[in-house]
Amino acid sequence: MVFIIALEIHSQDENNIIINSKVQNGVIYLNGAELEHNVKVNLKGGNNLLIFKGISPNLDQKSIRVSSDTEISVLSITTKTNFLTKKNELPIIKKLRDSLSHVEDQLIQNKNEIEAFLVEKDMIISNKSIGSNTTSVQMTDLKQGADFFRQRIFEINKSISKIEKENKDLSVQAQKYQSELDETNSRSAYSESDILILLSSTTPINANLKLHYLVTNAGWVPCYEIKADDLSQPIELVYKAKVYNNTSVHWENINIRLSIADPSVSISKPDLKPWYLDYYNASYNDERKSNLGYVQNIIQNAPQEMNSDDVIISGDVNFNELDIPDLNTEFEIKSPYSIPADDKPYMIEIEKHSLPATFKHFAVTKLDKGVFLLGRITGWQDLNLVDGYANVYFKGTFLGESLIKTRNVKDTLDLSLGRDEKVLVTRTKLKEFGSKQLIGTKLKETLSFELIARNNRKNQVDIEILDQIPISKNSEIEVKDIELTGGELNPVTGEVKWRFLLNPGETKKLILTFYIKYPKNQVIEVQQMKQRAVRKF
């Protein structure tokens, strides 16, 4: 039991104990972390001043808590920043310094070698005369001397050119190391804090103490991997966390728990306020595009741009606001992890889930020749997921990134698994059924298209094909469907939908035919055009 008394008491009889303890346990929040030190100390009867060294300067003094398995009294807790303590250099900084030093040494060696070649070259040029004013030189001697001078100077110039080229590459490498070193240093604080705890014990005892405190400049970001290997298999969801530490103190082999709770909440009793319901006005632009533009957003959790209201900027760091369930969920990580204090994200796997899934194919061949595979996951809402981006893989191939939105309370979570090359849908304009007729003062134009779906897979597929007929916005323009081969027509949007099961090796033919009737003196764009940028000469 610990009795905490907020007093500043110091005396000459204090037993000063210096404690260099590493962080052993940590609860990492989305923003912030609660760190724990476990130490065993020999306390004398009376006052004992414990000085915990090497503590992060980002600690919250009000959050410091001390507990013990024996009865002691905590008389005061204070902190001070220690700018003079020499910190242990982060391993990444030492590695970068060593690499930079090696490159710089090589540059100096190359410079010395070039200077030696230049001195030799000057000596050869200064002594190129092989005769004297009184002594003639034989032609064979002259030729041998010229050959020597030419060959040696050529070798020297060649060697210098090679070294200069190597120096350019080394200079680039040195700049990269220096930039990385500057960035790492800028992200790592240099000061440390000391926590001074004044304890009182009635008798000499050996006490096991636990020190807890909150720090800023640390946290975790949820992320996911979604993997599908076959249409007959469940989808694997891997829940991961990107943990970062910029507290100035390296976390070495600590036990980690990840929490979505808010460590900044008050210790006072909370008041339960009324829970009002109204229609949800999404802060994300998650409305599907009308008509056939919906193919661009056929998944519920497609990557989307954050609104400016969703992004918080603090210093040089950007934060995204996430929707967090009103639960204090924690995830205990089974293995210890080391997280350097370099503010870089380190990936930690939280847990894996095998989720039941069904698969569906989509095709809008008018806009895209590909057939898209959609995985529909069930049972995901019980996993305590937090908003985050997910890397999606199908058969080991990375397909892209999707955004998981936990506010989506539907029973299924739809994820695009990319194009399925084994399911084909073609769209061809049928000229023999197309016609253009003049009927009185109006021109009637008939358009017909053939859509052919083929399943080259070994299993049955559920496929949905979308197409459209135009919608008239003028009473003088009449549009009428003639043949839809069982397709469902939405009279408001003009969307035509076919959905059916396609057996292995099966081919299915669909016909879409309609006519447009309009005044003959008017021009109607019966073929939609696309714009593309091309180079101008």
Summarised one tens digit per residue, pLDDT across range 496-519 is: 999 999 999 999 999 999 999 988
Cα dihedral sign, 458-462-468-469: positive
| Residue 465 within a domain | yes
130 pLDDT tier (thresholds 50, 70, 90): low
For the chain, what percent of residues have pLDDT higher than 90?
28
Are residue 34 and residue 58 in the same domain, yes or no? yes
In this predicted structure, the answer to whether residue 242 has a pLDDT above a threshold of 50 is: yes
Residues 40 and 97 reside in one and the same domain = no
Question: Which residue's structure tokens are 């926590």?
Answer: 195
Asked if 435 and 448 count as a contact pair (C-beta separation under 8 A), the reply is: no
Q: How many CA atoms lie within 13 A of 251 on its CB side?
A: 30
Residue 490, domain extent: 423-519
Residues 239 and 224: beta-carbon distance below 8 Å: yes
Q: For residues 68 and 203, state if they share a domain.
A: yes
Position 449 scores a pLDDT of 93
- 532 lies in some domain: no
Tally of structural domains, the chain: 4
**Pair 248, 290 in one domain:** yes
pLDDT in tens, 13-55: 568 899 988 999 999 998 899 999 999 999 998 999 999 998 9
Q: What is the CATH number of the domain that holds 496?
A: 2.60.40
Asked whether 43 and 10 are in contact (CB, 8 A), the reply is no
pLDDT tens digits for 305-324?
334 344 433 444 555 555 55
The residue type of 382 is: D
Asked if residue 476 and residue 500 are part of one domain, the reply reads yes
Is 230 found in the same domain as 209? Answer: no
Please tell me the distance from the alpha carbon of residue 405 to that of residue 370, in angstroms, as a whole number. Answer: 27
Is 483 part of a structural domain of the chain? yes
Strand partners, 222: 241
Calculate the CA dihedral of residues 200, 201, 205, 211 and round it to 10 degrees.
Answer: -40
Q: Is 77 in the same domain as 112? A: no
Q: Residue 207 to residues 54, 71, 499: CA-CA distances in angstroms?
A: 21, 9, 72
Whether residues 406 and 334 share a domain: the answer is yes
Query: Are 333 and 281 part of one and the same domain?
Result: yes
pLDDT tens digits for range 423-450: 999 999 998 777 788 888 888 889 999 9
Same domain for 388 and 248? yes
Top pLDDT among 352 and 145 is at 352
119 band by pLDDT with thresholds 50, 70 and 90: confident
Tell me whether residue 342 is in a domain. yes
Provide the pLDDT confidence category of residue 121 given band limits of 50, 70 and 90.
confident
Residue 31 falls within a domain, yes or no? yes
Say if 467 falls within a structural domain.
yes
Does the pTM of the predicted model rise above 0.75?
no
| Total Cβ atoms within 10 A of residue 57 | 19
pLDDT of residue 369: 87
**Same domain membership, residue 448 and residue 349:** no
Amino acid 285: pLDDT:
39
Alpha-carbon span 235 to 238, nearest angstrom: 10
Domain annotation covers residue 240 = yes
Q: Distance between CA atoms of 59 and 405, rounded to whole angstroms?
A: 32
- Domain membership of residue 271 (yes or no) is no
Is the same domain home to 321 and 224? yes
Inter-axis angle of helices 139-187 and 91-126, to 10 degrees? Answer: 160
